[in-house]
Amino acid sequence: MAFRIHWPFWVACALPVLVMLCVSDGWPRWLFMWLLAASIYFACKVLTWSLAAANCVPRWQQWAYLLAWPGMNAARFFDADRSNQIDPPTRREWAAAAFNLAVGGVLFWSARIWLPRSSSILLGWAGMIGTVLMLHFGSFHLLSCIWRRIGIDAPPLMNQPLRSTSVAEFWGRRWNAAFRDLTYQFLFRPLRSRLGATTALVVGFIISGMVHDLVISVPASGGYGRPTVFFTIQAAAILAERSPLGRSLGLDHGWRGRLFTGLVLLVPVRLLFHDPFVTKIAVPFMHALGAA
């Protein structure tokens, strides 16, 4: 599949390279991680914006997509014809997003009070969970409510992931729609046309793991390859639940599917957020914000 990519994307691509080249050993590792993640994120935002016929969209909406919405589906954000199909935010949604934001903040800044001071791993995990609640389930969901309230199609990035009854459903429909939209458009769909669906699935997950390795392991100076192994396990689990044996065992639906999904995600999760990342990135970041 051929894409006509505009010059701003190539400029944005230089940002991660500049971060890698300019950050010195004296900089906090957490700052390196955030700068690297932000630069990659912005490059992806510019890529999706440049391919979405943005010239027909008001300038304010283009800037809003780039700076005030974390999603990666620019075509949907810009599509005025979908205004009648937008699900308006409910009061329950507003309340749930605000609640998650508050709970995440409390967890992030109070963990040091009720956790043993000697347990930096537990402290770091509490901080990471608090950060996800504040961002993905809190402030990002509030942004979704705001944009949908004024008629822009910006569905929540998180779609009740705890209700997943298969690993495929978790990654394909419920967890972080921004990353899913990005990888589907630029990884899975082009690979599928060349390699077939199964190979594209495996290669796509491995590449996703390598990207996470870049953002997680490189700033932490340790744990190299573990995030890639984690995502490889996810691909293998999807293939297993889709196999004749997996279907006969009910791994792709119902309570067995829910149990299988939980095990596949939770048992190897320390490969993704490994101890070097927790101790060298998460905990120092909490220290910098007065939360540890």
> Please, what is the average pLDDT of the chain?
92
Overall average pLDDT of the 199-220 stretch: 95
- Hey, how many other C-beta atoms are within 10 angstroms of the C-beta on 129? 15
Residues in contact with 1: Cβ distance below 8 Å, sequence separation at least 6, in sequence order: 189, 190, 193
- CA dihedral (76, 82, 83, 88) in degrees, to 10, reads -70
Q: Which two tokens stand for residue 268?
A: 């190897």
Spatial CA neighbour of 238 closest among 273, 209, 265: 265
User: Is residue 24 domain-resident?
Assistant: no
**Number of domains into which the chain is organized:** 1
User: Is residue 212 domain-resident?
Assistant: yes
DSSP codes joined into one string, 216-272: HHHHHT--TTHHHHHHHHHHHHHHHHHSHHHHHTTTTSHHHHHHHHHHHHHTTHHHH
The yes-or-no verdict on residue 14 having pLDDT over 90 is no
The yes-or-no verdict on residue 8 having pLDDT over 70 is no
CA atoms within 13 A on the CB side of 5: 16
Overall average pLDDT of the 253-280 stretch: 97
pLDDT digits (tens, 9 = 90+) for 150-184: 999 999 999 999 999 999 999 999 999 999 999 99
Which of 23-27, 173-177, 253-257 shows the lowest mean pLDDT across its residues? 23-27
What number of residues does the chain have?
292
pLDDT at 13: 75
User: Is residue 200 domain-resident?
Assistant: yes
Q: Which two tokens stand for residue 67?
A: 């700076």
User: Is residue 33 domain-resident?
Assistant: no
pLDDT at 2: 47
Q: Which two tokens stand for residue 41?
A: 């994120």
Overall average pLDDT of the 110-128 stretch: 91
pLDDT digits (tens, 9 = 90+) for 84-114: 688 899 999 999 999 999 999 999 999 999 8
| Domain boundaries, position 188 | 161-277
Overall average pLDDT of the 197-211 stretch: 95
Question: Is there a contact between 141 and 156 (Cβ–Cβ < 8 Å)?
Answer: yes
User: Is residue 248 domain-resident?
Assistant: yes
CA atoms within 13 A on the CB side of 257: 21
> What is d(CA 137, CA 176) in angstroms, rounded to the nearest whole number?
10
Question: Is there a contact between 134 and 104 (Cβ–Cβ < 8 Å)?
Answer: yes
DSSP codes joined into one string, 146-206: HHHHTT-----S---GGG-SSHHHIIIIIS-HHHHHHHIIIIIHHHHHHH-HHHHHHHHHH
CA atoms within 13 A on the CB side of 252: 13
pLDDT digits (tens, 9 = 90+) for 27-79: 999 999 999 999 999 989 988 998 886 678 899 999 999 999 999 999 999 98
pLDDT at 1: 45
Diameter of the chain measured on Cα atoms: 56
155-160: Cβ within 8 A, 24+ apart:
155/71, 155/76, 155/87, 156/93, 157/70, 157/71
User: Is residue 188 domain-resident?
Assistant: yes
pLDDT at 54: 66
pLDDT at 292: 81
Q: How far from chain centre, in Å, is Cα 151?
A: 25
User: Is residue 173 domain-resident?
Assistant: yes
Which of 17-26, 133-142, 223-232, 277-286 shows the lowest mean pLDDT across its residues? 17-26
User: Is residue 72 domain-resident?
Assistant: no
